Chains A and B, each alone.
Chain A
Amino acid sequence: MNFLDWPLTTMIFLPAAAGLLLLLVPGRAVALHRWVGLAASLATFAGSLVVLSRFDPQQAAFQLTETAPWLPSLGIAYRVEVDGLSILLVLLTALLQPVVFLSSWGSIHEKVKGYIVAMLFLETGVLGAFLATDMFLFYVFWELMLVPMYFIIGVWGGERRIYAAVKFVLFTLAGSLLMLVAILYMAFAYKTQFGTLSFAYADWLKLHLPMGASFWHSPQMLAFAAFALAYAIKVPVWPLHTWLPDAHTEAPTGGSIILAGVLLKLGTYGLLRFNRTLFPEAWEASRGFFITLAVIAIVYGALVSWAQKDMKRLVAFSSVSHMGFIVLGMFAGGLTATQGALLQMINHGLSTGALFLLVGVVYDRRHTRLIEDYGGLAAVMPVYTGAFLLATLASIGVPLLNGFVGEFLILLGSYQSQPVAAALGATGVILGAVYMLSLVERVFWNALVHEENRSLEDMSLRELASFAPLAVCMVWIGVHPVTFLRLTEATLQKIVGG
């Protein structure tokens, strides 16, 4: 097999292969594990660039298809392909992974081997879930992410890590198991309508489930709900968000970055990819419901963030608010809002990933995340302050940085159809500035009251190197978003247009 002929497959399984290899290496060789992990993730990133170079943005349909028979008697095949909806998310995943490995030098000192291996398997799961277009394969990748993440939170996490890890697993599984039944039902419905078995997403697009009179008698609504529940838990949509603050806060820095950066995006990706296209009528029917939940999430997440004393918890709740924006944009409809939502997925991954990374930097030095333990850091750590400020401004949507573009497109697009929701959502932008700037004030500007903070070292070269790619992308998207929007336009046009 020529790897260059199968770029997607190579990219998906390269991390897992490296992980398997590392399993055989004794855990004593800590440095080796770290470097191999980093190298594998960089190679995967290079693979994603190869995919990008072969990607044709004019084409709305799936491209670079790689397929092989798997369980032919059940209509199940191995099938991965990429389109405008997944390309950016794949790039984001591949970009964040090396950042995670770089951060592990500072934050992970025990059982390094296990951490690196878990992270590598996690990357395979995430990339596979974004690229799989056979629903069985998608489900396998979707669940494959669960086990490494469980270990990452549970072994290398903070004090309440076991509680957080078990909660994460149970919440996620609760949704995905019902999705499994819905997947089985769809395959069955396909067989009844077309006579053959198929789990291929492309085939299911031809399927039309009846709408029925009421919710419980409507196959389409029930299947939609089963899919949506799985994704809504992952996003998370209010009021299913309660696992998120625990998991984000307790996870080690790298775990939080991946969790906030890409795992949450799988929820919004799933809603847009599957719920929107497979169940169009149910999508229309539940629009108001989801927009309401999204607006609540925006405002609620922002208000709760404001009240947090723990930096990581604050960023975690801000995710609830930001993800609310994305859900609002997706359900408000229109190409503009949907494009904004997709771009905002990337933006949130970058800026929240950066914030978790930066909180990790001071946590590695002081082993506390409480805001009150800091103050006046601007004088001691000028470079760090600059970096944090950049990430904050990106997160609250200051023009010329990435967050602005996404929020602007979402609000612009939703205002046309949902003016009230857009207006309420816009308050979230203001509240976002309030809680983030108050965080910056309390950590960086106020008087330096804790003596131990006086001797804090500024960011090291390694830490800067892990932050730099995120900073570049944040500015790039902010200044010239067309580079990225161009990649997604054709596909989103097709999805939104019907």
Chain B
Amino acid sequence: MISLWLTSVFPELVLVVAGGVLVLLDAFAPRLRPAMAWLAMATVLAALGLRWALPTPGAVWEGMLLVDGLGRFVDSYILLAAALALLVADPYLARTQSRYGEFFGLLLWAAVGAMTMAKANHLLVVFVGLELLSIALYVLNAFHRESALSLEAGWKYLVVGAFSSAVFVFGAALLYGATGTFALGELASGLSRGWLAVLGVGLLTSALAFKLALFPFHAWAPDVYQGSPTPVTAFLSVVPKGAALVVLARVVAGANPESLTPRWTSTLTALAVGSMVLGNLAAIAQRDLKRMLAYSGIAHMGYALVGLVAFGRDGVAAVLVYLAAYTFMNIAAFAAVAAFSENEEEPHLVTDLAGQGWERPTVSFALSIAMFALAGIPPTVGFVGKFLAFRAAVNANMVPLAVVGVLASLVSVFYYVRVVYYLYMKPLPKRKPAFSEPWAIRLLAVLCLAGMLVLGVFPRKLLELAEGAAAMLAR
């Protein structure tokens, strides 16, 4: 029994220990700093390999954790995102002279937090994962101690994060009062019992919506995205969202979708529509790339939520594919931002990209494909994600929701395409800054390109994995 318990969380254990080792190494062997990113990377890849090599026994730790296909899918996504973020991080930290072991340790621990959330079958375990993820991120956001923007980002995320944690705990407490259980799978039994349960689910959803930066809980996102060190933003923009979406999916599934009241569905619909519309409209007005990506992220969580509103196997599979797609697209975009920004203090203006497309072809090409993928244009994986999400909505007899979705993505094309025309169609400014294209960034660009295009043209394997994982929740 003990061995089953241990093997079921072995990848997490590896990451936790490696994180601690990296922090200690920083203190006792600072000469190793240049190698730390690669140590962290090796651990992440090892954890990924272990996750697939070890069996998925289902409920373990007295039913607290669900190490199932769904958990494995989301874990892979989190670890992949962490690995890609590490590739952004190394050249970036080298340039800003802040290659400290804490950075890597915190990143690994944050990943463990997200992985715990993804597999939690118990509200308190969700909370532990959420806190581990958030606390590590508070520090990472403020990692540039000299930068006011970075400190602001850390502070803002801390306040909003602490608040949403409190809301989460309160919601969980109310649910416990209504249902007598913390186990996600058993919530359904007590949900019909009046307003207490409704309030509890409402608070729980709000807290997760904070993490997902869904409208109207999105206000923190632009500032935090802008101020955080770019590799952290890349990590922040995908990992917590995946974890929170899965928790939400598990809550929805646990609450038994057949018994979901129309009110509950319409609440989620409102969140999705609001996020898609507001995110895209506000993104048009942004001059700073990171802020633009923050608003686009709000919109993208809206699209992913469409899949969750539709629910069923189609819907959950759509959410999972969307998350995988979103990882590649968003990290490619942030990698380019990291590569193009010379100085962290300066805003990352879209206009600074003028003419760069012909100067730095690899990164620019990856950025443009990422923009087209985010806009949902085939043959990229972004299109596959949107296609599946809208398909789920149409199949659930929600054609108007799909129409709102496509119209919102039409709006989004305007600002995504703007990035591309600055890259390729505007002349280089007179004062041409000296640019470097570190090999790690170039490798990352190629990996993300391959991810976006290969999965866009041959999505079959990804879709089958997602459908298998979704079958855990719904049929």
Contacts and interface: CB of A to CB of B under 8 A. Distances in A.
A140 B406 contact: no
A73 B410 contact: no
A147 B377 contact: yes
Secondary structure of the B side of the interface? helix
A266 to B, nearest CB: 15
Given A155-B425, A185-B394, A70 B460 contact: yes
A378 B251 CA distance: 79
Nearest to A166: B417
Contact of B378 (A144, A155, A165, A178): A144
A144 B409 CA distance: 17
B467 interface: yes
Interface in B389-448: 390-391, 394-395, 399, 402-403, 406-407, 409-410, 413-414, 417-418, 420-421, 424-425
- Among B379, B383, B417, B467, residue most surrounded by chain A Cβ atoms (within 10 Å): B417
A173 interface: yes
A423 interface: no
A184 B383 contact: no
Contacts, number: 80
A155 B424 contact: yes
Nearest to A141: B378
A177 interface: yes
Given A143-B383, A181-B394, A73 B402 contact: no
B403 A165 contact: no
A170 B464 contact: no
Contacts of B399: 181, 185
Nearest to B372: A147
B463 interface: yes
Contacts of A146: 377
Contact of A73 (B379, B406, B467): B467
A136 B388 CA distance: 12
B406 A180 contact: yes
A140 B378 contact: yes
B383 A169 contact: no
Contacts of A139: 378
A166 B394 contact: no
Given A151-B424, A180-B406, A184-B394, A144 B417 contact: no
A154 B421 contact: yes
B407 A177 contact: yes
Contacts of B185: none
Given A184-B402, A185-B394, A73 B463 contact: yes
A75 B418 CA distance: 35
A144 B377 CA distance: 8
Given A140-B378, A162-B421, A170-B413, A73 B464 contact: yes
A146 B460 CA distance: 24
A155 B426 CA distance: 9
B257 interface: no
A147 B379 CA distance: 10
B172 to A, nearest CB: 36
Interface string A81-123: 0000000000000000000000000000001001000000000
B410 A180 contact: no
A173 B425 contact: no
B387 A180 contact: yes
B190 interface: no
A296 interface: no
A70 B459 CA distance: 8
A139 B403 CA distance: 17
B60 to A, nearest CB: 30
B358 interface: yes
A147 B425 CA distance: 14
Nearest to A191: B395
B400 to A, nearest CB: 10
Given A154-B425, A165-B425, A181-B402, A187 B391 contact: yes
A118 B249 CA distance: 42
A111 B387 CA distance: 34
A71 B463 contact: yes
Contacts of B463: 71, 73-74
Contacts of A70: 460
A169 B372 contact: no
A151 B460 CA distance: 30
A147 B377 CA distance: 8
B394 A173 contact: no
What are the 7 A-B residue pairs with the smallest beta carbon separation, nearest first?
A177-B406, A140-B378, A184-B394, A154-B425, A143-B378, A184-B391, A188-B394
Given A71-B463, A139-B378, A187-B391, 11 more contacts: A71-B459, A71-B460, A73-B464, A74-B463, A144-B378, A166-B417, A169-B413, A173-B377, A173-B413, A181-B390, A188-B394
15 contacts: A71-B459, A114-B424, A136-B387, A144-B379, A146-B377, A150-B417, A155-B425, A169-B417, A170-B410, A173-B413, A177-B407, A178-B406, A181-B399, A181-B403, A185-B399
Interface of A: 70-74, 111, 114, 136, 139-140, 143-144, 146-147, 150-151, 154-155, 161-162, 165-166, 169-170, 173-174, 177-178, 180-181, 184-185, 187-188, 191
Interface of B: 358, 372, 377-379, 383, 387, 390-391, 394-395, 399, 402-403, 406-407, 409-410, 413-414, 417-418, 420-421, 424-425, 459-460, 463-464, 467
